[in-house]
Amino acid sequence: MKRTALALAVAALPFAAQAASTPSQEEMWQIIQQQQKEIERLKADQKVADSKINATADAVEKTATVANWASRTTIGGYGEHHFNHFKNKDDQVDAHRFVLYVGHQFSDTVRFFSEVELEHGLTKDTADGSGPGEVELEQAYIAWDFTKGHTLTMGQFLIPVGIINETHEPDTFYGVERNNVESAILPSTWWETGAMVSGEILPGFNYNVAVHSGLAIDPTGNGAVRGGRQKSAKATAEDLAYTGRLVYNAIPGLELSATYQYQADVTQGAAAEGEATFYELHARYQIANLTLTALTAEWDIDGSTFAANGSDQQEGSYLEASYKITPKLGVFVRQSQWDNRANSAVDTEIEQLDVGVNYWLTPTVVVKADVADQTNANGDAVNLGLGWSF
C-alpha cells in the first residue's frame, strides 16, 4: 500500500506543477500585449534601418554619378599679359587674353569641346558696342568618331589653316604677339560654324574637308579679310565657304600642309562681286633643338570694287628659325612680309623682323621678350609677355 501511494504521488507531481504554472486568462492577455508591443518596436527599428540603408544607397549612387560625370569632363584654358614699348606711339599694357575650355566625353565616340575668351580685359555695354575688349565664343562643337580614324565635327570650330589658328596657346609659339601674317592674311583666330570631316588617309597623311559659314568683307573699305570675320554672331550665310586641307607628317620632325578655300561671294551679297579663292602652304622641320618654319598664304578676290583699292589680292609669308638652348630657354628670329592691298598702285607691303627669347618656367608657363623692327608702319616695338596654359 505504501509503495502504491508513493507511486501515485510521484505520478501526480507533473500535473500539479503544470496546474501551478499555467497563467490565467488575464495574465495571458498581458503577455500577448507585451509581445505585440515588442513586435511593433522591432518593426519601427527595421523601418529606421531600411531608411538609413536607402539614404546611404542614394548618396552612394549620387556620388558615383557625380564622380562619373567629373571623370568625363575636362576644364582648361590659357592667358597672356603683354607690355609693348612702341617707338612711334604710346606704350601699352594689355591683359590680352583670358580663355577657358570646357569639354565632355559623352561616350567612346562622341565628345564636346568649347572655348570662351575675354579679350583685352574689359568689355563695355555701350550703345555703339565700343570697348577695348570682347567676350567671344570661339569654339563649341560635337566631334563624332563615326568610324576608325575618321571624325565628323559639327558646330563652331577653328578653320584648319596655318599653324597659329588651331594651336595658339602662348607657350606653344615664339614672340609676345602672334605673327602678323597669320593674323592679317589667314586671319587668325578664325572660326566658323558648319561641319567638317577629318581623318587619316594613309599613315602620316591626314585630311580635313569642311563646309561652313564664310567671310563678309566690306569691299568699299580697305577690303582686308580680317575685317570680314563674322564670328558666328548672327552671321549672314547667303554664301557658304568650302575648305580642304592635306597634312603630311610621316617623317619624324617634318610637317607639310596645304589648305585651299573657296567662297562664291565674300561680301555675302553686299555687292555683285566677291568670288574668292584662298590657299595657304607651310612647312615645319624640327631637328634636335632647331626648328625651321616657312609659311605663305594668298587671297584672290574677283570684283571691280576690290580691284579699285588693290585688295583683290592679299598675300603674306614668313620664315622663322628657333633654337632651344636648354629645355627652358629658346631664341628665335622671324622675317615677315604681308600686304592686304597687294594690287594697289602704291606700295602697301609691310615687312617686319622679330628677334626674341622665350623662357619656360614650366612646360606651360612662359616669359617672353622680343624686338620688332617694322617698315611702312608704326610697329617698331620692344615687347614683354607672360603666358600660361593648363
At 8, the pLDDT band (50, 70, 90 cuts) reads very low
CB atoms within 10 A of CB 284: 17
CA distance 293 to 266: 30
Identify each DSSP E strand in 267-328 by its residue range. 276-287, 290-301, 313-324
- The pLDDT of 212-228, averaged and rounded, is 92
Beta bridge partners of 154: 142, 195
User: Out of 25-29, 131-135, 293-297, which region has the weakest mean confidence (pLDDT)?
Assistant: 25-29
User: Out of 55-64, 115-124, 204-213, 227-236, which region has the weakest mean confidence (pLDDT)?
Assistant: 55-64
CB 232 within 8 A of CB 277: no
Q: Which three cell numbers stand for residue 357?
A: 627669347
- The pLDDT of 84-111, averaged and rounded, is 96
Q: What is the pLDDT of residue 9?
A: 45
Closest listed residue to residue 263, CA positions, set 300, 297, 226: 300
- The pLDDT of 132-147, averaged and rounded, is 95
Does residue 2 carry a pLDDT above 70?
no
Does residue 290 carry a pLDDT above 90?
yes
CB 371 within 8 A of CB 84: no
CA distance 354 to 371: 6
Percent of the chain with pLDDT over 70: 88
Phi-psi map region of 129: left, alpha, beta (phi>0 left; psi -120 to 50 alpha): left
Write the DSSP symbol of residue 102.
Answer: E
Q: What is the pLDDT of residue 165?
A: 97
Does residue 5 carry a pLDDT above 50?
no
User: Out of 201-205, 271-275, 327-331, 333-337, which region has the weakest mean confidence (pLDDT)?
Assistant: 271-275
User: Out of 63-72, 91-100, 181-190, 221-230, which region has the weakest mean confidence (pLDDT)?
Assistant: 63-72
Q: What is the pLDDT of residue 21?
A: 58
The vertex-98 CA angle with 94 and 104, nearest 5°, equals 170
User: Which residues fall within 8 angstroms of residue 210, CB to CB, at 6 or more apart?
Assistant: 153, 157, 159, 160, 192, 194, 195, 196, 197, 242, 243, 244
Does residue 6 carry a pLDDT above 70?
no
Q: What is the pLDDT of residue 132?
A: 84
- The pLDDT of 184-188, averaged and rounded, is 95
Q: What is the pLDDT of residue 13?
A: 42
Chain segment 350-366, per-residue pLDDT in tens: 999 999 999 999 999 99
DSSP per-residue string spanning 218-277: -TTTT--GGGG--TTSS---SS-EEEEEEEE--STTEEEEEEEEEES-TTTTSSS---EE
At 117, the pLDDT band (50, 70, 90 cuts) reads very high
Q: What is the pLDDT of residue 129?
A: 58
Does residue 162 carry a pLDDT above 90?
yes
More confident residue, 254 or 29: 254
Does residue 98 carry a pLDDT above 80?
yes
Instruction: Using the structure block, give the residue that is written with the C-alpha cell 570646357.
Output: 102
C-alpha separations of 129 from 126, 133, 137, 390 in Å: 5, 10, 17, 32
Closest listed residue to residue 114, CA positions, set 76, 140, 138, 79: 140
- The pLDDT of 70-91, averaged and rounded, is 95
CA distance 338 to 341: 9
- pTM comes to 0.81
Percent of the chain with pLDDT over 90: 72
Q: What is the pLDDT of residue 157?
A: 98
At 139, the pLDDT band (50, 70, 90 cuts) reads very high
Q: What is the pLDDT of residue 11?
A: 47
Q: What is the pLDDT of residue 70?
A: 81
More confident residue, 46 or 232: 232
Chain segment 316-325, per-residue pLDDT in tens: 999 999 999 9
Does residue 381 carry a pLDDT above 50?
yes
- Mean pLDDT across the chain: 89
At 22, the pLDDT band (50, 70, 90 cuts) reads low
The vertex-257 CA angle with 113 and 167, nearest 5°, equals 35
At 45, the pLDDT band (50, 70, 90 cuts) reads confident
